[in-house]
A = this chain, B = another copy of it.
Amino acid sequence: MVTTSHGIVETPVFMPVGTIGTVKGITQQDLIADIKAPIILGNTYHLYIRPGMEIMKKAGGLHKFMHWDKPILTDSGGFQVYSLSPTRKLTHEGVEFTSYLDGTKHFFTPERVVDIQGMIGSDIIMPLDECVSYPSEYIYVQKSIKLTHRWLKRTADHFRARGEDAPKQLLFGIVQGGTYSDLRVESAKAVVENDLDGNAIGGLSVGEPAEEMYEMTERVVAHLPEHKPRYLMGVGTPDNLLESVALGIDMFDCVMPTRNARNGWLFTSNGVINLMNSKWKEDFSALDPDGTSFVDTYYSKAYVRHLHHSKEMLGAQISSIHNLAFYVWLIKEARKHIIEGDFASWKKDMVKRVTNRL
């Protein structure tokens, strides 16, 4: 459970990614009424570039700007600085990067990233960190987490020194350390020392094998306090979610359900469907007879396949609604089975089902 200014979020929870003030292809109304998303994620980097903080401030924050009254978590923008900027320069002070829009130079420091997220007004904010790519040399990662930890300290100090008029926000820490168990443990301990509102695991699901991801997650979770939310950033497939819940993870975000939807991939409780496959061409059965979304029994596989083939927007829309509704449903089911006490057996069966290729 996470208690925010915009309500309580029950965990485990999946957070749809609303990159630039919009979950791609989905109205806020459908997110609430059909998908039943309890919380969404916004990308600080994208929002900082466009619409920019001038408009964000005048709008009164992201909630008002996009008309979303439930909780929002924003990332720190760090990941996008590393992955999207044509050039970037990392110093002890912070990171300088170039806008992909107009080539202007910008500088993110741990303190500035707190302030930017203050203007966005999200409910949960994340600290600036360094995300190392996979694979990275041990020596590099060892140095990198020291920087990340120093930045986290600065982030926490700045966050706590904010005045009374600062928005009511939660601050999480981020554990890094690549795929090195000892560095992950070292990082977990250093992050936890800051006694923040929640703890996240970053830098996974960046290309390493799933087994390595689970191993790192397990090692880190052992050092994160149980009474605070544990958030595995950017993960993953339905079975990744279930396995990670089993390891003690409470929060997830991932672009996969919407990105794959735009390419005609559906995740269902009976397995994965690639609508571009010709086997669905004349399959007029419901998109997902067991699905919970209004699109699932209304539209047929053959119809939605036709939309994707014709590159019609509606194909991406229907598939995105379906996938997000499925992700949100799946993780709520996990919660139900945790409460009922039969999570382990349910998970074992469900992992088999969701990894099935239809």
Q: Please list the residues of chain A having a beta carbon within 8 angstroms of any beta carbon in chain B.
A: 20-22, 24-29, 50-51, 55, 58-59, 64-67, 281-282, 284, 294-295, 298-300, 302-303, 306-307, 309-310, 312-314, 316-318
Contact = CB atoms under 8 A, between A and B. Distances in A.
Number of copies: 2
26 contacts: A21-B303, A21-B306, A22-B307, A24-B312, A25-B313, A25-B314, A26-B314, A28-B298, A50-B306, A50-B310, A51-B302, A51-B306, A55-B282, A55-B302, A58-B282, A58-B284, A59-B284, A59-B302, A64-B284, A65-B303, A67-B298, A67-B299, A313-B313, A313-B316, A313-B317, A317-B317
B50 A309 contact: yes
Given A20-B310, A313-B313, A66 B303 contact: yes
Contact of A27 (B55, B295, B309): B295
A318 B27 contact: yes
Nearest to A24: B313
A316 B314 CA distance: 11
A312 B20 CA distance: 9
A67 B67 CA distance: 31
A67 B303 contact: yes
A312 B320 CA distance: 14
B24 A298 contact: no
B55 A281 contact: yes
B59 A312 contact: no
- Chain B CB count within 10 A is highest, among A58, A295, A310, for A310
Contacts of A298: 28-29, 67
Contacts of A282: 55, 58
A20 B65 CA distance: 34
B284 A317 contact: no
Contacts of A306: 20-21, 50-51, 55, 65
A301 to B, nearest CB: 11
Contacts of A313: 24-25, 313, 316-317
A314 B55 contact: no
Contacts of A66: 303
A165 B66 CA distance: 52
- Chain B CB count within 10 A is highest, among A298, A299, A314, for A314
A326 B20 CA distance: 28
Contacts of A284: 58-59, 64-65
A316 B59 CA distance: 21
Nearest to A58: B282
A113 B170 CA distance: 64
Given A22-B314, A55-B282, 13 more contacts: A20-B306, A21-B306, A22-B307, A24-B312, A24-B314, A25-B314, A26-B314, A27-B314, A50-B310, A51-B309, A55-B302, A64-B284, A66-B303
A295 B27 CA distance: 9
A301 B300 CA distance: 35
Contacts of A50: 306, 309-310
Contacts of A312: 20, 22, 24
- Chain B CB count within 10 A is highest, among A25, A27, A28, A281, for A27
A319 to B, nearest CB: 12
B58 A294 contact: no
A111 B295 CA distance: 37
B65 A302 contact: yes
